Amino acid sequence: MSLVEVKNVSYGKGRKQIVNDVNFQLEPGKIVALLGENGSGKTTIIRLLAGLALRWQGTITIAQEKVGTKTKAFVALLADINDFPSDFSIEQVVAFYETMYADFDLGKARQLLTFMELGEEEQLKNLSRGNREKLALLLTLSRKAQVYLLDEPLSGIDLLSREKIIQSLVRWFDEESLLVITTHQLSEIENIVDQVLILKDGTIALHADFESVREEEGIGLEELYRQTMLGERR
């Protein structure tokens, strides 16, 4: 049974059609890379799955539930820490998340804080961009959700921090859940990706099992992406 089902979904803003009759299904236990050029609709798809977009056409269900208020209880969208007062400490932000989300696991948050080398007493205003991203990610992964939606968790982050974030995804990924990640860092995530969903101008250009592609064709994620974008795949 699919965890996420997207059927004939279209979405536009004003006169602009952003997502055009998109169909896909995603199973639990998978890490799915949602890829595409700038403006291809990745963030829009993430917002649709998160129940944040309004007035779209089609059907989106997550765990058999129509996407909306109810699904937000088990869909974890990458946290946005920008709305917290800048003098809040990490500990205060974590405590807020614990009260906000019934599925928040404080023990997991503490483990992740240690892994990310973040001190609970640090104030938000003193965190570097990379450390802010790490905090956002650990808040998200500390929820025991069925679906994790990570929109560009690696952007603007230095190499070693990116590696740390990718390691944390592998280490803390719950095999019963589904993780959808958007990024332009293709080679860096290829070792953790199970499936690839490539968007081109608001439509699905490719939905493939990356393990099979790698085994059968011996190509990496960048080459798969390039071939898809250039229309070189059958």
**Least separation, in Å, of the C-beta of 158 and ligand ATP?**
20
Closest CA to 26 of 63, 52, 75: 63
CA distances in angstroms from 225 to 10, 35, 96, 138, listed in the order given: 23, 8, 39, 29
| Residues 6+ positions from 12 with CB-CB distance below 8 Å | 18, 19
Tell me whether residue 95 or residue 205 sits nearer to ligand ATP (CB atom): 205
Is residue 16 part of the contact set for ligand ATP (CB under 6 A)?
Answer: yes
Which listed residue (3, 5, 30, 36) binds ligand ATP by CB under 6 A? 36
Contact 145, 78 (CB under 8 A): no
Tell me whether residue 118 or residue 151 sits nearer to ligand ATP (CB atom): 151
Which listed residue (3, 9, 31, 41) binds ligand ATP by CB under 6 A? 41
Quick one: which segment of 40-48, 49-57, 75-83, 99-107 binds ligand ATP (CB under 6 A)?
A: 40-48
- Beta carbons within 10 angstroms of residue 199's beta carbon: 23
Number of residues interacting with ligand ATP: please give it, by CB under 6 A: 11
Is residue 38 part of the contact set for ligand ATP (CB under 6 A)?
Answer: yes
Quick one: which segment of 13-21, 96-104, 108-116, 216-224 binds ligand ATP (CB under 6 A)?
A: 13-21
Which listed residue (33, 40, 78, 124) binds ligand ATP by CB under 6 A? 40
Closest CA to 94 of 114, 108, 109: 109
Is residue 42 part of the contact set for ligand ATP (CB under 6 A)?
Answer: yes
Which listed residue (29, 39, 119, 156) binds ligand ATP by CB under 6 A? 39
What single string gives the DSSP state of each residue in 3-28? SEEEEEEEEEETTEEEEEEEEEEE-T
**Least separation, in Å, of the C-beta of 119 and ligand ATP?**
31
- The binding site for ligand ATP (CB under 6 A) comprises 13, 16, 18, 36, 38-44
